[in-house]
Amino acid sequence: MITVRHHILSLILLAACLSVSSAQAEQVVVTDLRSYQAPDNLRLVFDVSGPVEHRLFTLENPKRIVIDIDNARLKQVLPPLSSEATMVNNIRSSPYKKTGLRVVLDLKQAVRPKTFVLGPAGQYGHRLVVDLYDDAQTEPVIVSKSHEPERQEWVIAIDAGHGGEDPGAIGRRYRTKEKDVVLAIARELERLIKAQPDMRPLMVRRSDYYVGLKQRPLIARKAGADIFISIHADAVPGRRASGSSVYALTERGASDRMAKYLEASENAADSLGGVYADSAEYSDPTLKKVLFDLSETASIGFSLDLGADILKELGRIGPVHRKSVGQAGFAVLKSPIGDVPSVLVETAFISNPTEEKKLRSKTYQRAMAKGILNGIKRFFDRKELKPRVRSMQAKQGATATEKPRHHIVRRGESLTSIARKYNIAVDTLRFANNIHGNNLLAGSKLLIP
Ligand SMILES: [Zn+2]
């Protein structure tokens, strides 16, 4: 009798345990979906209530992508994809194996998928990110310096901050997103620069998608940019801060509290926008060191000059928050080769309701763009810059006619001897060829930047 009772008690305990474990394995709820079309990929971001296990595979005839999420369900019907989405016809979903969720993307063309998960960051909880790359889309050909020998063009990289999953700061009064107003200012600046006889714009981000902080200067570099301008309109605590400010890079610690605050909020962008944690340029400590050393030595002086010129011109349009150029360790300003003057322009504070209102107006967006352009012109007019300008132009004239150079490594040659031969820095050679140590294989082909 006692044993039977004991048995029943065990069963009750067992049942209790089971209900606890089933509560632990509670279904993940897919609460929302956002999508962003970039020039070469479509990003889908699923908001999920907790960490997810998922598998992705492709099917042919017709082409589909299937994403199976274990132990998950939808909270509501998935919203339609971005109207700009070019590679996907349709998205649908169904239950899968009793407790799972299957999402199917009907494709218009072959794509190369890549997925990763993001933990909670900023306003977001857990996210599942699916990127579909359009392999048919070749990288935009942007390295095309003018072929007319008389006409020299300065390439101005315009970097609209944030974008896509990273909205940037959000205004209190109208819920204005920083990513939208800075893109509007960037487009105005693009238009103005196009109208200059000696300048050409390069938009680092062209619409509403995210570009990683370290990717941005690389895009500029690949396009042969001479100047890099990152445009922002951040928020700080309180409503009072107002006026434009300009920042350059330093690795020695931020110049003041405001710079420190902005540095932290800007450098958090990747955790919101979403980047692959495993990409080489993010994790390689050697490369990090090279990037830092080069940017430190070569371009900071020029960046401070450029910043001062832009600040002076912005001060003619409206109030400035600080009269000198601030400095902080902004990841986006770390130019990969180090000779590109790079600044971050805080056009206004979106946290200030009056400035938020201004930032939304076309007139103000145009005025800011005009101010930045005038600052760039002022920088190019600097007397002490002339010799550098000339050498840059000589360099540009040369690249207009020359194909990229290569060097076949011969036995006995070192990085140093090759760098000396082409009159370039060893680190430049390393960077261009993704070399981390000092070892060179005889017979290998090096790109000479
Ligand atoms: Zn910003």
Residue 27 DSSP one-character state: P
Q: Give residue 269 CA to ligand 1 midpoint distance, Å.
A: 8
Number of domains comprising the chain: 3
Question: Could you tell me which residue, 169 or 5, shows the higher pLDDT?
Answer: 169
Q: What is the pLDDT of residues 161-192, one digit of tens each?
A: 999 999 999 999 999 999 999 999 999 999 99
CA of 310 to the centre of ligand 1 (A): 18
Ligand 1 centroid to Cα of residue 305, in Å, is: 22
Say how many Å lie between the first and final Cα of the chain, rounded.
Answer: 88
| SS3 of residue 107 by DSSP | strand
Are the C-beta atoms of residues 120 and 114 closer than 8 Å to each other?
Answer: no
Q: Is the pLDDT of residue 416 over 90?
A: no
Kindly give the distance from the C-alpha atom of residue 169 to the centroid of ligand 1, in angstroms, as a whole number: 7
If you measure from the C-alpha of residue 157 to the centroid of ligand 1, how many angstroms do you get, rounded to a whole number?
A: 17
Tell me which DSSP letter residue 197 carries.
Answer: T
Q: Residues of the chain with pLDDT > 90: what percent? A: 51
User: 3-state class of 223 per DSSP?
Assistant: coil
Residue 32 sits in the same domain as residue 71: yes
Q: In this structure, are 275 and 352 located in the same domain? A: yes
Q: Residue 159 in 3-state DSSP?
A: strand
Confirm whether 11 is domain-assigned.
no
CA of 229 to the centre of ligand 1 (A): 12
Residue 20: what pLDDT?
44
Q: How far is the CA of 227 from the centre of ligand 1 (A)?
A: 19
Show which of 363, 388, 413 is a domain's final residue.
388
- Read off the pLDDT of residues 77-108 as tens digits, 9 standing for 90 and up: 999 999 889 899 999 999 998 899 999 999 99
The pLDDT, as a whole number, for residue 449 is 72
Residue type, 17: C
- Asked if 62 and 119 sit in the same domain, the reply is yes
Note whether residue 283 is domain-resident. Answer: yes
Which tens digits make up the pLDDT trace of 377-387?
A: 999 888 656 55
Q: How far is the CA of 313 from the centre of ligand 1 (A)?
A: 21
CA–centroid distance, residue 266 to ligand 1 (Å): 6
Mean pLDDT on 328-350: 84
> Per-residue pLDDT tens for 354-364?
999 999 999 99
- For residues 347 and 359, give the distance between their C-alpha atoms in angstroms, rounded to a whole number: 8
- Check which CATH number belongs to the domain holding 323 and give it: 3.40.630.40
Do both 205 and 325 map to the same domain?
yes
Q: Which positions ≥6 away from 254 have C-beta within 8 Å?
A: 260, 263, 326, 327, 328, 329
Token duo for residue 171? 């205004």
Is 395 within a domain? no
Residues 178 and 223 in one domain: yes
Q: Tell me whether residue 182 is in a domain.
A: yes
**Same domain membership, residue 203 and residue 234:** yes
| pLDDT-based confidence at residue 64 (cuts at 50, 70, 90) | very high
What are the pLDDT digits (tens) for 8-40? 545 444 444 444 444 446 899 999 999 999 998
User: Has residue 141 been placed in a domain?
Assistant: no
Average model confidence (pLDDT) for the chain? 83
Q: Beta partners for 68?
A: 55, 102
Q: How confident is the model at residue 331 (pLDDT cuts 50, 70, 90)?
A: confident
Helices (H), 223-327: 257-267, 269-273, 280-283, 285-294, 300-317
Residue-level pLDDT at 7: 55
Q: What are the residues facing 116 on neighbouring strands?
A: 129
Give the HSE-up count for residue 282: Cα atoms under 13 Å, Cβ half-sphere. 13
- Expressed in angstroms and rounded, the spacing between residue 50 Cα and the centre of ligand 1 is 28
| Whether residues 127 and 180 fall in one domain | no
Give the whole-angstrom CA distance, residue 116 versus residue 44: 11
In angstroms, what is the span from residue 160 Cα to ligand 1's centroid?
9
Identify whether residues 92 and 216 lie together within a single domain: no
What's the pLDDT tens digit per position in 220-255? Answer: 888 888 899 999 999 998 899 999 999 998 877 888
User: What spacing in Å lies between the alpha carbon of 231 and ligand 1's midpoint?
Assistant: 7
**Residue with structure tokens 């962008």?**
269
The Cα–Cα gap between 225 and 205 comes to 14
User: Which of these, 348, 169, 183, lies nearest to 272 by C-alpha position?
Assistant: 169
Q: What share of the chain is helix, strand, coil (3-state, %, to 5)?
A: 35, 25, 40
Cα of 178 from ligand 1 centre, angstroms: 7
Cα 232 to averaged position of ligand 1 atoms, centre (Å): 4
Q: Is the pLDDT of residue 397 over 60?
A: no
Domain carrying residue 435: 403-448
